[in-house]
Amino acid sequence: MNNDLSNQSREIKVLSVVGARPNFMKIAPIARTISDYNKRGKLPTIRHVIVHTGQHYDDVMSSNFFNDLELPAPDVNLEVGSASHARQTAKTMERFEPILLAQEPDFLLLVGDVNSTLACALVASKIQYSTMNGRPRPIIAHIEAGLRSFDRDMPEEINRILTDALSDMLFVTEDDAIQNLLSEGIYIKKIHLVGNVMIDSLVTYKNKALQKDSLQDIFNWIKARQGAYGVVTLHRPSNVDEAQRLSPLVECLCTIAKRLPLVFPVHPRTRENLKKFGLLERLNSTNNIYLVKPLGYLDFMKLLMSASLAITDSGGLQEETTFLKIPCLTLRENTERPITTTLGTNFLVGTQPERILSTVFGILDGKAKRGLIPPLWDGCASERILNVLLSSIIV
């Protein structure tokens, strides 16, 4: 599409969409980089508009992350809330369209792979501006493009593929992502290797997280158990929505806890299912498992940075542990972040208890991966992204 903004004023407008916890950590460094750029008095100036779809509406999983990451309050909150994939996507599209028409941004920044990401890409790809000097729609930029699990049973995989197909600029974290996009017929000049904005947030807030003192009860509990511990996060529907999948994982955690105490911040969806399946009491009655409510970004990072290992089904945690060189067990059969297993500290172990237990005990016996930090995971990805956006403008 035509990127010529030369007939406009010396201000450009960037609209960023966030919807769920990982999005906040990816947009925060972009917002900070734009603010720093404007403070230097350069032209064109950049107006940054943040739209929160409200896909995560729990206070800890939303507003606390804005505070921790020093994100400006969203300019718009669509208050979409939780629903089925179809309803959530449709509601986001319906509420986002008038915002996009009213704002008419030059660039639309989309991050990650949640339903909000795809919904807003669909709206923007079909929008028709009425007043912006003939520009038909925004330039759609997808941050964290090209990641593939090759498992289309994952809703996120569908979101990734379709968002990438609709985007004009694709910002990727690693070489594997470039190859994935090229194999799907994406034009190479759309693809930009910039690094990982999740790591930008980690680099920026690592020291601040270490200074947090709000987890004293947890660390007192850990100290009473000789100081070593693991961190657990579980939230994927494939792991927590059925008793026959969740129950063996709970028993596995109870077995691990006999050797390594575990701190488990419990996602609301997971807690609800643990109660429903009669498994919550099993965890609560285990002496070496500490269940807590979901933590804000800084609190969780402090907890993670001193852990002996992490057990998770999260995507972002695979990246954070690789950067921190902390062993990670991913309880999935596939990952869209293979570089964390080939270069980093991540073990893709699936959900069979025998494999999980043998990997955990192997790590505790000194068989963890040493791991390397992937290229360009250096805290500067957001600066590279902004440079690409600015260089695309003909002035």
Question: Is 235 tagged catalytic?
Answer: yes
In angstroms, the CA 342 to CA 73 distance is 38
- Give the pair of three-digit tokens for residue 333: 């059969």
CB proximity list for 89: less than 8 A, separation 6 or greater = 115, 118, 119
CB proximity list for 76: less than 8 A, separation 6 or greater = 49, 50, 51, 52, 99
Angle at 100 (CA atoms; ends 111, 71), nearest 5 degrees: 45
In angstroms, the CA 230 to CA 264 distance is 9
CB proximity list for 350: less than 8 A, separation 6 or greater = 331, 332, 333, 356
C-alpha dist (Å) from residue 232 to 245, 275, 291, 325: 16, 18, 10, 16
Look at residue 221 and give its three-state secondary structure. Answer: helix
CA 271 to chain centre: 21
Pick from 319, 311, 371, 309: nearest CA to 345: 371
H or E segment and range at residue 247: helix 243-257
CB proximity list for 327: less than 8 A, separation 6 or greater = 308, 309, 310, 321, 345, 347, 363, 368, 369
User: Which residue is listed with tokens 């991966």?
Assistant: 369
Look at residue 152 and give its three-state secondary structure. Answer: coil
Catalytic residue among 48, 56, 85, 235: 235
Pick from 204, 171, 196, 174: nearest CA to 186: 171
In angstroms, the CA 201 to CA 214 distance is 20
Pick from 100, 216, 102, 259: nearest CA to 110: 100
Q: Which residues are catalytic?
A: 235
